[in-house]
Structure 1
């Protein structure tokens, strides 16, 4: 069996590097077909009393952040940054913050307050029943 040429080896290595560079942080490398991302819908996330007014709470396992911009108004967004798919890390001073590259989003509507994020955080559906917050 003949040895591969130097050109063949270099071309194959370059292709591997290119494929590896396309993966996004925080995404599974080999997701199973039909496997839902995050927790199933209709999941109780927590209590309204746990969400501070002017702040929010990140439910990492569910990939969702719930905010309370003003007393009694609750909003929910994806907790995955729209820049490079890092999970957001904190909610403070009226923004949802991604520590990977410094993106910040408004707790009121998920809009980009500071980039490099190119798009707002996608909204998520929640239902408030009594003092319980449920992802729907």
Structure 2
């Protein structure tokens, strides 16, 4: 039977149609990881840690939102990645806490570690400031978006 013949069995497909469909699905999956949608905003990417990701997840809850850490858990001049909560919490100066998206603005990879005063994406080595999420080193050219966090006493929660 050739690919040009009419099929009479219900639901039957030609080999050409099956291969074309499989190729289209594979191409769509491959391209989705590299797409910025033409809007300058990174496509949705994974929200769990990549290579070398560090994470802490107390999991307690409070009335203002889910408690993700105690203030003492966040190093001064550094920070912690909470990949499962979708936030990076930093403490640039004692008592000053900031929240950022854990997804790199270059190609949507998760950031994976904090080195000194930089949030690092090891996919392409972009580095972002722990103070304001600004790009310290590309290839990313947009800052990490801020995430709302709330500090109540010694608890840090998602706002």
Instruction: Tell whether the structures are fold-level matches, with TM greater than 0.5.
Output: yes
Match of 2:128 in 1: 105
CA distance in 1: counterparts of 2:108 and 2:93, whole angstroms: 28
* Pairing 1:21–2:30 present: yes
Count matched residues.
125
List per-residue Cα deviations over 1:97-132 (Å, max 9, x = no partner).
011110100000001111111311110001110000
TM-score by length of 1: 0.79
Aligned residue among 136, 141, 144 for 1:118: 141
* Pairing 1:3–2:30 present: no
How big is the shift at 1:11? 6.0
- Secondary structure at the aligned position of 1:22 is classed as helix
* Pairing 1:88–2:111 present: yes
Structure 1 regions of 5+ residues with no counterpart?
Answer: 28-38
CA distance in 2: counterparts of 1:72 and 1:49, whole angstroms: 10
How big is the shift at 1:13? 6.1
TM-score by length of 2: 0.68
How big is the shift at 1:7? 8.4
Match of 2:93 in 1: 70
List per-residue Cα deviations over 1:68-90 (Å, max 9, x = no partner).
00111000000111111111111
CA distance in 2: counterparts of 1:13 and 1:62, whole angstroms: 34
Larger radius of gyration: 2
CA distance in 2: counterparts of 1:132 and 1:109, whole angstroms: 21
Match of 1:36 in 2: none
Superposed CA RMSD in Å reads 2.6
Match of 2:153 in 1: 130
46-55 or 83-92, larger mean C-alpha shift: 83-92
CA distance in 1: counterparts of 2:30 and 2:94, whole angstroms: 44
